[in-house]
Amino acid sequence: MLHLSKSFSLLCVLILAVVFSAARSEAQTDAAMSADPKIAAALKQVSADRIQANIERLVSFGTRLTLSAQDPESIAAGHGIGAAREWIRSEFERYSKDCGGCLEIKTDSFTEQPTERIPSATEITNVYAVLKGTDPENAKRIVLVTGHYDSRNSDTLDVKGDAPGANDDASGTAVSLECARVLSKMKFPATIIFLTVAGEEQGLNGSRHFAKMAKDAGWDLEAVLNNDIVGGDKSAEQDHSVIRVFSEGVPVASTEQDIRRIRGLGGESDSGSREVARYIADVGRVYDAGVKPMLIFRLDRYLRGGDHSSFNQQGFAAVRLTEFREDFHHQHQNVRLEDGIQYGDVMKFVDFDYVAHVARLNAATLAALAAAPAPPANVHLLTKGLENDSTLSWDASPGGLATAYEVVWRATTSPEWEHAQNVGNVMRTTMKMSKDNVIFAVRALDAAGHRSLPVVPTPER
Ligand SMILES: [Zn+2]
């Protein structure tokens, strides 16, 4: 008996050692956040079947070209972008009914004047749902998920022909919808916005208008997650285990003065967008979304653009999520069979389980940020004297949720935060290492372990 139990304990120790080393090697960091069991449970509610039904519905409108029909007859007939818009609105309203009216459903409508891809003045409507934060101070903070509900075929001016856009971007629209359905059952101190925009294919018109509105209204928009082509196209070379996360390096909204500072400090890889990308990577390590973020340190793919850049233009942190490998036979193509090749962005190429995984990653990121305290303000690195220690100071995280702060750091050559040290509920700390050798940041945390986005300090002389 004794012998048996001894070998049993030895086995347990061995198993634990293996599990521990596996967890360590996967994380490759001791700066990871901790999982919130409520968020982990909510992710299980994300449904591939519902996502499939929603994409099917969006495809059923024939075309969702921004220039397509939006008159009452077409809406009643279920054809064109107007019908798609009304359906999205009704879907958000249904989710709101299920949570006792917890969502505020809004539209952002405007008339776009003629441009290269808009032959005559066209009304463009963004549809969104607001899950207002429960804490009056923190409700001013916003995190946002978006996808574009417009579509196109080979000809971006073809208002009549089919443009199913199942992957581009009914998949991203379905992510916004499913995040709204699942997260509206929870409460967060900060606000979450679930957005679907139009006009993307005509020149990012919808997102540009929305981002400018947010800027003009002074919104405290902490992070924007743009999902565009997240259908996991079923091509042979697809990697369904990863999702690419694109983020800008030097912010497009930088002033000359910002750029001088960035150049001097080696801050090329610390834009707000990049910190959001790193946060998503962290979320991918601690929550089981079913897909792993693959960080790409550039704004977007070559020669391509997306709605996140509209937010970047206004100085907001915004990233783009896109499947690992796009199939260009299935994007911006008339549906047709040619030389044995099926062209067109149709349902059969979309992997609904994959879209559900991406929706889980989005939901976890939105929830983690909306549950967290605001980032600390006015983070500074004291550089007055020549010394090998590094003193950081900051103002309290606004909104009163923070109970402590962490200093995180990484080697200047490392893509992600490697270490974190809890320094308690203080506004100043000295690290026994040289600021010249690492990149520091400070983040706020609450009693439950929710982490804010980290803030890289500016030097104070
Ligand atoms: Zn797209």
Cα–ligand 1 centroid distance for 134 (angstroms): 33
Report d(CA 414, CA 335) in Å as an integer.
Answer: 44
Cα–ligand 1 centroid distance for 72 (angstroms): 26
Cα–ligand 1 centroid distance for 5 (angstroms): 59
Q: Considering the chain, what percentage of its residues have pLDDT values greater than 90? A: 90
Cα–ligand 1 centroid distance for 248 (angstroms): 18
Cα–ligand 1 centroid distance for 15 (angstroms): 46
| 314: its two tokens | 């206004």
- Report the pLDDT value the prediction gives residue 461, as an integer from 0 to 100: 79
Cα–ligand 1 centroid distance for 154 (angstroms): 13
First-residue to last-residue Cα distance in the chain = 69
Cα–ligand 1 centroid distance for 381 (angstroms): 41
Sign of CA dihedral 305, 307, 313, 318: negative
Cα–ligand 1 centroid distance for 262 (angstroms): 31
Report d(CA 461, CA 448) in Å as an integer.
Answer: 36
Cα–ligand 1 centroid distance for 218 (angstroms): 27
59 phi and psi, to 5 degrees? Answer: -65, -35
Secondary structure of 26-40 as H, E, C letters: HHCCCCCCCCCHHHH
Q: Considering the chain, what percentage of its residues have pLDDT values greater than 70? A: 94
Report d(CA 95, CA 169) in Å as an integer.
Answer: 21
Q: Is the pLDDT of residue 250 over 70?
A: yes
Q: Is the pLDDT of residue 30 over 80?
A: no
Cα–ligand 1 centroid distance for 230 (angstroms): 9
Cα–ligand 1 centroid distance for 319 (angstroms): 14
Cα–ligand 1 centroid distance for 399 (angstroms): 36
Q: Are 405 and 396 in contact (CB under 8 A)?
A: no
Cα–ligand 1 centroid distance for 251 (angstroms): 22
Cα–ligand 1 centroid distance for 148 (angstroms): 7
Report d(CA 373, CA 138) in Å as an integer.
Answer: 8
Cα–ligand 1 centroid distance for 69 (angstroms): 20
Q: Is the pLDDT of residue 22 over 80?
A: no
Cα–ligand 1 centroid distance for 304 (angstroms): 10
Average pLDDT over residues 385-392: 92
Cα–ligand 1 centroid distance for 167 (angstroms): 8
Cα–ligand 1 centroid distance for 227 (angstroms): 8
Q: Are 133 and 219 in contact (CB under 8 A)?
A: no
Cα–ligand 1 centroid distance for 332 (angstroms): 9
Average confidence score pLDDT of the chain: 93
Report d(CA 442, CA 436) in Å as an integer.
Answer: 17
- Report the pLDDT value the prediction gives residue 13, as an integer from 0 to 100: 44
Average pLDDT over residues 239-257: 97
Put simply, whether the predicted model's pTM sits higher than 0.75 gets the answer yes
Amino acid letter, residue 146:
T
Would you place residue 28 in the very low, low, confident or very high pLDDT band (cuts 50, 70, 90)? low
Cα–ligand 1 centroid distance for 34 (angstroms): 33
Cα–ligand 1 centroid distance for 174 (angstroms): 13
In tens, the pLDDT along 37-57 reads 999 999 999 999 999 999 999
